[in-house]
Amino acid sequence: MSKPLLQVALDHLDLPSALKATRLLAAEVDVLEVGTILCYAEGARAVEVIRALYPEQTILADLKAADAGSTVAEIVFSKGADWMTVICCAPYATMEAALKVAREYKGDVQIELYGDWTFEQAEEWRKIGLTQAIYHRGRDAALAGQQWGEADLAKIRRLVEMGFDVSVTGGLFAKDLGIFKGIPVKCFIAGRGLYGADDPAQAARDFKKAINEHWV
């Protein structure tokens, strides 16, 4: 079992704030996520700027696209994204169109699992050719105190069994990672748990230490 990667979600309201976080964290993490909030605030320019500053880093554009799959994919992949997200309620045609463009750029598309979705849908996503999924405890749910539980772990395991590389996000801190021990998680994604820490670089190292402890 390979070790999970560490991804920072740059959910900032403006690019200067996001760049302040990347200066502290880029050397400590594996993936830089141009978060949904930052995408709304700054557009594809955020992807372009971060790619120029970090040419070797994996960059995700967390668009949560619901329509116009080929158009939005062309916008972010042409600016340097490696991955982008589509929301799980998007039409299959949107997902397929986004994936077609992603492959032209040697990139990939991730399904963002929000709200109500089914494993029957997941089977269709696999038929389309999608192989990455993000299991999400939403920002509002985390703020409301919703905890990770066995039901979450069972769903993640089933997605893995279906052939998905599953990333996990939602109010994560280093102390939480042991919950997922034994599951081949692709990425652990954290935002405030990294850049919101008193020492963001040390927080990232704490995440990596927990990963190394639980995934040998």
Which tens digits make up the pLDDT trace of 53-91? 999 999 999 999 999 999 999 999 999 999 999 999 999
Smallest CA-to-CA distance from 45 within 67, 69, 16 is with: 16
CA 106 to CA 142: how far, in whole Å?
A: 34
Residue type, position 152, single letter: D
Q: Report residue 154 CA to chain centroid gap.
A: 20
Domains of the chain: total = 1
Q: What is residue 84's predicted lDDT score, i.e. its pLDDT?
A: 98
Contact assessment for residue 36 and residue 8, using Cβ atoms and an 8 Å cutoff: no
Angle (CA) 75 172 204, round 5°: 80
Task: List % helix, strand, coil for the chain (3-state, nearest 5).
Answer: 50, 20, 30
pLDDT digits (tens, 9 = 90+) for 100-130: 999 999 999 999 998 889 999 999 999 999 9
pTM over 0.85: yes
Domain that holds residue 57: 5-214
The CATH number of the domain holding residue 209 is: 3.20.20.70
**Token pair belonging to 4:** 């999970």
Other C-beta atoms lying within 10 Å of the C-beta of residue 129: 14
Q: Is 40 exposed, middle or buried (0-12, 13-18, 19+ CB in 10 A)?
A: exposed
